Structure 1
Amino acid sequence: MDKSMIQTRRKEMMLAYVLLAPSLFLFGVFLFYPLLKSVYLSLFLTDPQGRVAEYVGMDNFKEILLSEKFYTSFMNTVIFIVLTVPVGIAVALLLAALTHNHLKGMKLFRFIFSLPMAVSVGTGSMIWMIMYHPTLGILNYFMQFVGLDPIQWLTDPKWAMLSVSLMTIWMNLGFNYILMLSGMQGVSDDIYDSARIDGSRPLRTFVQITMPLISPTLFFTFVVSIIGAFQAFGQINILTKGGPMNTTNVMVYNIYQDAFINFRFGIGSAQALILFAIILLLTIVQFKFVEKKVHYG
């Protein structure tokens, strides 16, 4: 390799580093530094200002793993994931299948189903808080209209988690719907034409052709939805604040309580690292086992 080629390659490498520098800086400030700071704080007790007070080593992790509240928040998170992720993906898949055809007026429905993506967590939570109001809410109005007793959606321990889950499914519907519709639009019409010529009915075509061909999209949506459910905070903070009786106190809200309400930044950092480890392990498991069933053909 001559000198001119070596110099050209060096210049290209330098240019690449220059172009990557802004992104690396942002990642360093907002991702790597907070992660390292959390690791550092998890080994210490801190005062209300977050300043290091005493080195305790792994005691923070031991306290968390022996805490009943931590396991309660973990189980609440699992319940929240089970209630939101499968249903959210199924509803988005159904709506995408119904609006995938090129009939007149389908663009309007696509726009309507995509709208929740444009609504912030705070705005969406306030909308649903009004809908859940025990006396003024539209949900209880319809229940009384059909002769049913009103429900204390956000204050009854039996209904609180379901109520937050319904709001979350609606909030994530726009993103999931766009992903599903994009996946379906990536399937060639020639494949559907061949299926129709072979006498395949719509349901069989959807199950045996569409589903395998959009499995990469389904897998991506599934992974992203689970990670997002683990990180749920805004709607819980606004609607229930972890109550009633800790029935909606998921892991992220438990971290928030320990770190920013009780000013136990060491415990909060340790919990954040445990949550990070759980999400990382679960994502690796999904890529290791679930991805084997994904069709990339």
Structure 2
Amino acid sequence: MYKIETIALKNKYEGKIHFLKRFWGFFKGGVEPFIYLLPAALVFTFFTFYPFFKTIYISLFITDPRGGLSKFIGLKNYFDLLASQNFLNSLYATFKFVLFTVPPSIFISLILAIFANVNMRGKNVFRVFYALPISVASASAAVIWTLLFNPSIGFINYVLSVFGIPPIGWLTDVKWGIVAVSIVTIWMNIGMNFIFLMGGLQNIHKDLYESAQIDGANLFLQHAKITIPMLSPTLFFVTVVDIINAFQQFGVINIMTQGGPVDSTNVVVYSIYRDAFFNFRFGVASAESIILFVILFALTLLQFNTGERKVFYR
């Protein structure tokens, strides 16, 4: 009798142990990873997802000057914006700004990275100089360049006058306003782009260039047939990031031109800021934000569907 009870008790405990092992295995494999992700999920929920869906919600209303929801109007804000000449001009200024900043900044950064990757004495000093713009805040850079672009005492117009070129109203002329803020943005982007491209260049084996030299390829062909294809993943990444940053540019424009002259630099982000905090049209500003998000999302998908096909992953 005692032996039978001992065996039954043993089977009972073995069953419990087996159940606990199965539960622990399920916890480790199916529950524990989500517990580790929970803090990040909460941060994203409260600071990314909730504001995003709240913006969509607000864009469907007319708001009062304090941001309160006054009247539900559905998609009317979106239709009004797409029919508004001011908003279409903001879109045009934004695409123009992207075109003026992204290709030149990537091209200049690539040239500087190629020169800094050459085996020569003192190359580390040049690398530091080329990467310096990344350490300058956008507000500080905007103030410095505003002084340089000053039509009366600015250094740039002084240099132009030395060559007999009449002074240019960089920040007052409709034709030159977008050029001025583009120059500043290009200068600020060079540092980060240079660091990424420099890292990519250092991963390209020197044997490829030596083989190309033996085959008689000149310097231009070496970079066209070796550097660009091998650097294509980094170039693709830099292009996507620069386009997104250009669409979101605000600080330089706010300090240097405030959207002027004559709305020539009134990009979409600055238009959102002005509609929300000057005109107190929070519903319209929210609709502009969603339209900007859709444009960026579509452009990013287009880049991944078309540009990534030309990326050479080794």
TM-score calculated relative to the size of structure 1? 0.96
Any idea what the Cα deviations from partners look like across 1:52-86, whole Å, max 9, x if unmatched? 11111111111111100010000001110111010
Q: Which residue of 2 aligns with 1:288?
A: 305
Any idea what the Cα deviations from partners look like across 1:136-180, whole Å, max 9, x if unmatched? 211011112222211111011111000010000001110111111
Matches within 5 A, 1:191-202: 191-202=208-219
Q: Distance in 2 between matches of 1:131 and 1:216?
A: 36
Give 3-state SS (helix, strand or coil) of 2:169's partner: coil
Q: Distance in 2 between matches of 1:144 and 1:97?
A: 33
Are 1:149 and 2:166 an aligned pair?
A: yes
Q: Please, which of 126, 151, 162 is the counterpart of residue 134 of structure 1?
A: 151
Q: Distance in 2 between matches of 1:237 and 1:296?
A: 40
Shift of residue 291, structure 1, vs aligned partner: 1.0
Q: Distance in 2 between matches of 1:161 and 1:45?
A: 32
**Ranges in structure 2 where 5+ consecutive residues have no aligned partner:** 1-17
Q: Point out 4+ residue stretches in structure 1 off by more than 4 angstroms.
A: none
Matches within 5 A, 1:106-117: 106-117=123-134
Q: Please, which of 23, 32, 39 is the counterpart of residue 15 of structure 1?
A: 32
Matches within 5 A, 1:249-268: 249-268=266-285
- Residue type at the aligned position of 1:35: F
**Pairwise CA RMSD:** 1.6
Q: Which residue of 1 aligns with 2:6?
A: none
Q: Please, which of 119, 124, 128 is the counterpart of residue 102 of structure 1?
A: 119
- Residue type at the aligned position of 1:173: I
TM-score calculated relative to the size of structure 2? 0.91
Q: Please, which of 184, 187, 192 is the counterpart of residue 170 of structure 1?
A: 187
Give 3-state SS (helix, strand or coil) of 2:70's partner: strand
Q: Distance in 1 between matches of 2:153 and 2:188?
A: 22
Bigger-Rg structure (1/2)? 2
Q: Please, which of 232, 238, 245 is the counterpart of residue 228 of structure 1?
A: 245
Kindly tell me the number of residue pairs found equivalent between the two proteins.
297
Give 3-state SS (helix, strand or coil) of 2:174's partner: coil
Q: Distance in 2 between matches of 1:144 and 1:196?
A: 45
Give 3-state SS (helix, strand or coil) of 1:199's partner: coil
Q: Which residue of 1 aligns with 2:229?
A: 212
Shift of residue 3, structure 1, vs aligned partner: 6.8
Flag the 1:9–1:59 CA change in 2: closer, same or farther, 3 A: same
